[in-house]
Amino acid sequence: MGVKHELELPANLEPMTRHPKVPGPGEPMRVHHSMCFGCGLDAPVGLRLNVTAGEDFCVTATMPVVDWMQGGPGVIHGGILSAAFDEVMGNASILIGVPVVTVNLEIDYAKPIPLGSTLRFTAEVLGKSGRKVYVRSQAYLDGFEAPVAAAYGIFVEINLRKHFEGYKEGAVKAPQG
């Protein structure tokens, strides 16, 4: 079975506009948090994804599949791929100028993805309804025309300050024991 799902979108999607202050097509998206597992450069371990803004509500990213990402012998762990989709789709949401967190993720794993390969991601915001943002993403490998994996995500708009209030900044730095 290949990529199977279609996300059911609500009928009441609202018109969206691209936020005027987000990077232009071809420009890198900003790291939203330096310690983020998905994109942060100070995270002790992480994907360090470079996401690039595309046209309209689209982004792209590439990810080398390296040894520590291994799940089954010689192939990527499904959770790592899921984290990459989460990050790429979250970045797509930024294009409409909305701070979001993930509430729902669905992944189709269509092919095993070998260590040493490079995944290419595309993601696009499909629509917004109230606080909910609907996003789709696909992952490609050289040599395969169809996506090797795909994801749908529902993200929910948050008040950034309130949402993270009370959580420790960079818990890895908290006193041990």
Which residues are at the interface with ligand 3VV (CB under 6 A)? 32, 36, 38, 86-87, 90-91, 93-94, 99-104, 130-132, 154, 156, 158, 160
Closest to ligand 3VV by CB, 33 vs 111, is 33
Strand 100-109 to strand 118-129: parallel, antiparallel, or no bridges (unpaired)? unpaired
Q: What distance in Å separates the CA atoms of residue 78 and residue 84, rounded to the nearest whole number?
A: 10
Question: How far does CA 109 lie from the centroid of its chain?
Answer: 15
Q: Please state the closest distance from residue 111 (CB atom) to ligand 3VV, in A.
A: 24
Q: Please state the closest distance from residue 87 (CB atom) to ligand 3VV, in A.
A: 5
Q: Please state the closest distance from residue 88 (CB atom) to ligand 3VV, in A.
A: 8
| Token pair of 31 as six digits | 């790291």
Q: Please state the closest distance from residue 29 (CB atom) to ligand 3VV, in A.
A: 9
Closest to ligand 3VV by CB, 49 vs 110, is 49
Closest to ligand 3VV by CB, 77 vs 111, is 77
CB closest to ligand 3VV, residue no: 90
Question: How far does CA 163 lie from the centroid of its chain?
Answer: 19
Rounded to the nearest 5 degrees, what angle is found at the Cα of 141, between the Cα atoms of 138 and 145? 80
Strand 132-140 to strand 118-129: parallel, antiparallel, or no bridges (unpaired)? antiparallel
Q: Please state the closest distance from residue 110 (CB atom) to ligand 3VV, in A.
A: 23
Closest to ligand 3VV by CB, 50 vs 74, is 50
Closest to ligand 3VV by CB, 93 vs 137, is 93
SS3 per-residue string spanning 43-99: CCCCCCCEEEECCCCEEEEEEECCHHHECCCCEECHHHHHHHHHHHHHHHHHCCCCC
Helix (H) or strand (E) holding 164: helix 160-164
